[in-house]
């Protein structure tokens, strides 16, 4: 028996019977096929198109195509007042509108040099953390659906509904809030808000355990995600990953801790990173795990904020809101920890106009997704679905 390499046919095992050569086994090289996943594909979470070059079931190359949801966010910003940009930021990451508004507001406030009332800061953190939980619930629920688990999705959306009702009660809208303004808030929260939020915290604590048992410890789910799409920490940093994606690779980096803003330095919470016991560090399961554990930390933050929040007596949510936002000339890059990572705004002001000269949003999903090409190389098509799901993309933020 010997191995022959016949040009263009891959390696072939043959044996000789007398003078005849008998082919025993041929390493088949199948024809490569181009497979377009999306833009209308449920597992791409929106209108993302992945053009995959496949060899059988193996993806040899995947090229993401973006822009199907491009709405010229940055051009729009240059044509409206600073305050009027806030509703646009809701539409970036529409699953975490409060967090996007928060990031934008603190960026402009850096240029403005105004003092924000303490109660405003607390309310901002409460609504942002509530929104973070809601956003993670969608991420976890839809990730389950991607991998064939339907029940966790229903559980997640049931609980998310309560958060959306709370936020609707405060702001009047379910997803696109326009609540956190530059310099303050649109309104104070309703009278019983703290009580109802505390009720939710008490209700939701056991649910995170339930969700953990239902999905994170589910054997099928673990088999589909563990060891898939591993991203080493240094490569993740070089790719500019942030948020749960970066922490999934074992880097303890959270802007709320490492580049603190608002009242986060006063609050006590952990930054969960996987320890490698239940997952391989940097794989899809680690990223999922970080999100699952982060919800508990958010609950902790909310609880502390409710306890420490100054009373509403004599409080005006708009007391520090400038009549006309006209920052001094200069540039600023401000950022905040969003559910999906670092959302940054680069704003340029000429000091005369009430409109930004340039407003660039650094989208976390856009940066996280850029590693897709490297992550997908040599993966199976079903694993590709697991990887996209673990990146937790929102196309509204990628395409802007």
What is the smallest separation between the CB atom of 106 and another protein, expressed in angstroms?
12
Question: How many chain residues bind another protein (CB under 8 A)?
Answer: 37
Q: With respect to another protein, which residue has the nearer C-beta, 100 or 142?
A: 100
Span of 69-77, 91-99, 216-224, 282-290 interacting with another protein by CB under 8 A = 69-77
SS3 of residue 47 by DSSP: coil
Q: Name the minimum Å distance from CB 71 to another protein.
A: 10
**Residue 174 touching another protein (CB under 8 A):** no
For residue 343, what are the β-bridge partners?
336
- For another protein, the closer of residues 172 and 330 by Cβ is 330
In this structure, are residues 89 and 180 in contact, taking their beta carbons and an 8 Å threshold?
A: no
Residue 199 binds another protein (CB under 8 A): no
Q: In the bound complex, what is the minimum distance in angstroms from residue 109's beta carbon to another protein?
A: 11
Residue burial 295-325, b: 16+ Cβ < 10 Å; e: rest: bbbbbbbbbbbbeebeebeeeebeebbbeeb
Q: Does 319 bind another protein (CB under 8 A)?
A: no
Q: How far is CA 41 from CA 67, 77, 152, 325, 390, in A?
A: 16, 31, 21, 42, 16
Q: Which stretch binds another protein (CB under 8 A): 169-177, 217-225, 316-324, 365-373?
A: 365-373
Q: Is 351 in the site for another protein (CB under 8 A)?
A: no
What tokens were used for 310? 């100054």
Least CB distance from residue 290 to another protein, whole Å?
Answer: 16
* Alpha helices, DSSP H, located in the chain: 73-77, 86-90, 97-112, 118-146, 151-171, 193-211, 219-225, 233-238, 244-248, 255-258, 284-308, 364-369, 372-375, 381-391, 395-399
Q: In this structure, are residues 345 and 92 in contact, taking their beta carbons and an 8 Å threshold?
A: no
Please say whether the beta carbons of 321 and 183 come within 8 A: yes
Q: Which of these segments, 6-14, 51-59, 308-316, 364-372, binds another protein (CB under 8 A)?
A: 364-372
Question: Are 173 and 192 within 8 A, CB to CB?
Answer: no
Of 173, 353, 360, 382, which lies in the binding site for another protein, with binding defined by CB under 8 A? 360
The nearest distance, CB 146 to another protein, in angstroms, is 24
Residue 330 found at the interface with another protein (CB under 8 A): yes
- Which parts of this chain interact with another protein (CB under 8 A)? 66-67, 70, 72, 74-75, 78, 110-111, 234-235, 237-240, 251-253, 258, 330-333, 335, 342, 344, 346, 348, 358, 360, 362, 366-367, 370-371, 399-400
């Amino acid at each position: 028996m010997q191995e022959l390499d016949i040009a263009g046919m891959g390696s072939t095992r043959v044996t000789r019977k007398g003078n005849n050569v008998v082919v025993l086994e041929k390493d088949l090289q199948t024809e490569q096929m181009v497979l377009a996943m999306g833009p209308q594909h449920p597992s791409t979470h929106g209108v993302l198109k992945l053009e995959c070059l496949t060899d059988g079931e193996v993806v040899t190359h995947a090229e993401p195509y973006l822009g199907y949801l491009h709405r010229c966010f940055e051009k729009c910003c240059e044509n409206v007042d600073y305050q009027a940009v806030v509703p646009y930021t809701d539409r970036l990451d529409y699953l975490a509108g409060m967090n996007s508004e928060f990031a934008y507001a603190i960026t402009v406030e850096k240029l403005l040099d105004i003092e924000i009332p303490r109660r405003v800061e607390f309310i901002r953190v409460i609504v942002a953390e509530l929104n973070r939980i809601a956003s993670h619930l969608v991420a976890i629920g839809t990730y389950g659906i991607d991998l064939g688990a339907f029940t966790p999705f229903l559980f997640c959306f049931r609980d998310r509904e309560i958060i959306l009702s709370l936020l609707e009660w405060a702001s009047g809208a379910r997803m696109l809030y326009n609540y956190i303004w530059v310099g303050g808030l649109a309104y104070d929260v309703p009278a019983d808000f703290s009580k109802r939020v505390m009720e939710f915290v008490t209700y939701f604590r056991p649910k995170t355990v339930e969700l953990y048992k239902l999905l994170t410890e589910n054997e099928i789910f673990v088999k589909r995600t563990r060891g898939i799409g591993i991203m080493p920490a240094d490569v993740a940093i070089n790719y500019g990953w942030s948020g749960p994606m970066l922490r999934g690779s074992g880097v303890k980096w959270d802007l709320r801790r490492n580049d603190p803003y608002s009242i986060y330095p006063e609050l006590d919470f952990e930054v969960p990173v996987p320890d490698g016991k239940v997952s391989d560090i940097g794989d899809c399961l680690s990223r999922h795990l970080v999100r699952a554990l982060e919800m508990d930390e958010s609950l902790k933050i909310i609880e502390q904020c409710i306890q420490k929040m100054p009373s509403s007596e004599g409080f005006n949510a708009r007391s520090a809101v400038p009549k006309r936002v006209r920052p001094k000339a200069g540039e600023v890059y401000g950022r905040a920890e969003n559910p999906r990572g670092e959302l940054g705004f680069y704003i340029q002001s000429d000091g005369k106009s009430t409109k930004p000269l340039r407003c660039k949003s650094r989208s976390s999903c856009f940066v996280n997704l850029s590693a897709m090409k490297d992550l997908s190389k040599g993966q199976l098509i079903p694993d590709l679905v697991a990887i996209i799901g673990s990146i937790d993309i929102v196309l509204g933020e990628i395409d802007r």
